[in-house]
Amino acid sequence: MSLGVNPSPFAGRTAVVTGAAGGIGAATARMLAARGTAVVIGDVDPRAADVVAQVEADGGRALSVRADVTDEESVAALMDVAAEFGADVGVAAGESGSVDVLVANAGIAERKGPLHELDLDHWRTVLDIDLTGVALSMKHGLRHMDAQGSGAVVAVSSILGLVGQAGSAPYSAAKAGVANLVRSAGLGYAQSGIRVNAVAPGYVETPLTAGLDESVRAQMTDRQPIGRLGTPKEVAEVICFLASDAASFVTGAVWSVDGGYVAQ
């Protein structure tokens, strides 16, 4: 389904979305592009090129850059390429580009199990991608935003960053870290023209959840007071709001997008 191009306050701005080869990231990249943003996707998954093709088919502007969020040089280069891309497509000739929006979305799931059986290598991998990767993305996105005196960051946490779940030590720890990282950065940049927020999605329909056993999907659905799983588009809508000028008085906040899960 084509999202179309809808000129908005995003027009002329450049956004970086990490981990946007599928799921929430892809929906966010397409939605930002449909609303006028030049989007740069940073991902190690080659399917990111398919998302770029979808954006371009809808009349938007996008670029895919292979970027590993655990590698600082890779992340720094991603942000620099994004600024150049913004200069090419949205800024008058001779002016420097900008990174106006950062959606720090890249992350992986975990192997669940009791903490006394924790695999340290797996712990480090999850923390490196789901927390350190967000911090590095924010560091180098904020480097550009601080220089220009404006910008909006939206990180992707999780309901498991707000409430506990048995057998979910690495992922819960990482996502809780993202939530407090956002609160800290939101305060740190509150007077710099930069807003930093997060979304905390609940159980969402993605290729990962689509492949689960029906009994597992039923359990996930039963945990959601709204009675169904969310969609990537529903999460993307909140991300785009937080990245927009409509959320100009919102910073340091973690928004649950979870069908009422954490309100129970």
| Catalytic machinery residues | 171
Per the listing, tokens 């720094």 go with 76
Residues 6+ apart with CB under 8 A from 210: none
Gyration radius from the chain CA atoms: 18
- Round to whole Å and give the CA distance between 130 and 126: 6
- Burial class of 149 by CB neighbour count within 10 A (0 to 12, 13 to 18, 19+): exposed
CA 147 to chain centre: 22
66: closest CA among 106, 100, 99, 34? 106
Phi, psi of 261 (to 5 degrees): -55, -50
SS3 72: helix
The letter for the amino acid at 110 is E
Cα–Cα distance for residue pair 159/182, rounded to 1 Å? 15
Nearest residue to 157 via CA among 68, 49, 238: 238
Q: Give backbone dihedrals phi and psi of 197, rounded to 5 degrees, phi first.
A: -135, 175
